[in-house]
């Protein structure tokens, strides 16, 4: 298979393109693929692959900032775990209404579970992290640990 750049949707979902399906149609059982069990809430069975969340990460002298688009995801459907050197963002974008597959003319939006774990470029203080959301853009600010900071320790006498 030749090397090519994945589309945004393929990167987000971890899916394959229609071109790849048509190239390997004789190897794939398309009838089997179309019979994916779907629950009443629209989610697929547990073997469903998660989509990979796209992020931007940058740093300033005092913090590491992570940004990602989470439009359509309620804050209670997001889980953000932070350690000193890693951040994991998990969530689920739920489709609000069920539409019969045959009624779709085009279907490109990603619905379902997604996650992303990345190593941070510097150690951060997880206890001081802040997250905010505006117009579907989630911004997570992670204050860097100041390794140069010194404290004078006072000795108590008993």
Chain segment 56-97, per-residue pLDDT in tens: 999 999 999 999 998 888 888 899 999 999 999 999 888 777
Closest-CA residue to 91 (of 64, 110, 65) = 110
Closest-CA residue to 73 (of 87, 57, 89, 62) = 89
Tokens of 20: 């790849």
pLDDT tens by residue, 126-135? 999 999 999 9
Q: Inform me whether the pLDDT recorded for 6 exceeds 80.
A: no
Q: Which residues contact 21 (CB under 8 A, 6 or more apart)?
A: 28, 30
pLDDT band at 7 (very low <50, low <70, confident <90, very high): low
pLDDT of residue 53: 86
Q: Which residues contact 94 (CB under 8 A, 6 or more apart)?
A: 41, 42, 43, 77, 111
pLDDT of residue 148: 77
pTM above 0.75, yes or no: no
Closest-CA residue to 84 (of 147, 126, 142, 143) = 126
What span, in angstroms and rounded, lies between the C-alpha atoms of 91 and 79? 6
Percent of the chain with pLDDT strictly greater than 90 = 35
Q: Which domains does the chain have, with CATH numbers?
A: 36-143 (2.60.40.790)
């Amino acid at each position: 298979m030749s090397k090519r750049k994945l589309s945004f949707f393929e990167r987000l979902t971890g899916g394959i393109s229609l071109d790849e399906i048509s190239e390997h149609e004789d190897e794939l059982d398309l009838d089997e693929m179309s019979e994916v069990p779907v629950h009443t809430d629209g989610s697929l069975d547990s073997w469903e692959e998660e989509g990979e969340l796209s992020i931007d990460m940058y740093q300033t002298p005092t913090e590491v900032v992570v940004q990602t688009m989470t439009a359509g995801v309620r804050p209670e459907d997001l889980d953000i775990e932070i350690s000193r050197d890693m951040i994991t963002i998990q969530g689920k974008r739920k489709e609000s209404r069920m539409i019969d597959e045959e009624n779709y003319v085009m279907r490109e939006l990603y619905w379902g579970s997604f996650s992303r774990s990345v190593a941070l470029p510097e150690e951060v203080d997880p206890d001081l992290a802040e997250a905010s959301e505006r117009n579907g853009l989630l911004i997570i600010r992670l204050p860097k640990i100041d390794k140069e900071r010194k404290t004078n320790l006072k000795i108590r006498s008993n």
